[in-house]
Amino acid sequence: MQESKETIIASYKRRLVDSRVIVPVEREVWEGFYQKGDERKTVTLRCWQIDPDNVPKGFAFQGGKYQYDLRRHNGKRPLAWRVAFLGHERYDDKNYTLSHLCHNEKCYNWEHHCLESLAYNKARNGCPGGRYCFHDPRCIVPGPFYK
């Protein structure tokens, strides 16, 4: 009997939460948006990483990224980040990719992720982030190419 998508997502999240390492990541953001007196400030994100010495059951490190075993469900081993979006209508769409709203490629905190088109994902790279981000959902911090 196959597990439901909701059961798989819940199991994935539980295993990740039980073994995560919370890593404080400091990033500079603009207090304002190019107005007189604007300053940069530092924010600390609580990104989650997987401890290589305590890899949760079902996770496997391959090709520089973690995968999650769904072979009992659909015969695949997708990148672990995608599993939280198993119920998303575009989950199997190869033109959709996972965006890190925190711009930390090592982060596994699904609250820092969204599934969206590759073009929309790439547009985030030059985004100022925070309250001046016009993406939906908003970027948490500026993209890597934002100056």
Tokens (6 digits) for 127: 């985004």
The pTM (predicted TM-score) of the whole model is 0.82
User: Looking at residue 119, what is its pLDDT?
Assistant: 93
When the pLDDT of each residue in the chain is averaged and rounded to a whole number, the result is 85
Domain containing 117 — which CATH number?
3.90.75.10
The pLDDT score that the predictor gives to residue 141 is: 84
Q: In whole angstroms, what is the distance from residue 6 CA to residue 83 CA?
A: 10
pLDDT band at 109 (very low <50, low <70, confident <90, very high): very high
What number is the average pLDDT over the span 123-133?
82
Pairing of strands 40-50, 113-117: unpaired
Count how many domains the chain has.
1
Q: How does pLDDT run across 41-90, given as a tens digit for each residue?
A: 788 888 999 999 889 999 999 888 999 998 777 678 888 999 999 999 99
**pLDDT value at position 116?**
96
143 in a structural domain? no
Which of the four pLDDT bands, split at 50, 70 and 90, describes residue 121? very high
Residue among 27, 28, 40, 30 nearest 104 (CA): 27
Q: Is residue 138 part of a domain?
A: no
Q: What is the pLDDT of residue 95?
A: 93
Structural domain boundaries, residue 11: 5-132
> Which residues does 101 contact at the CB level (< 8 Å), separation at least 6?
112, 113, 114, 124, 137, 138, 139, 140
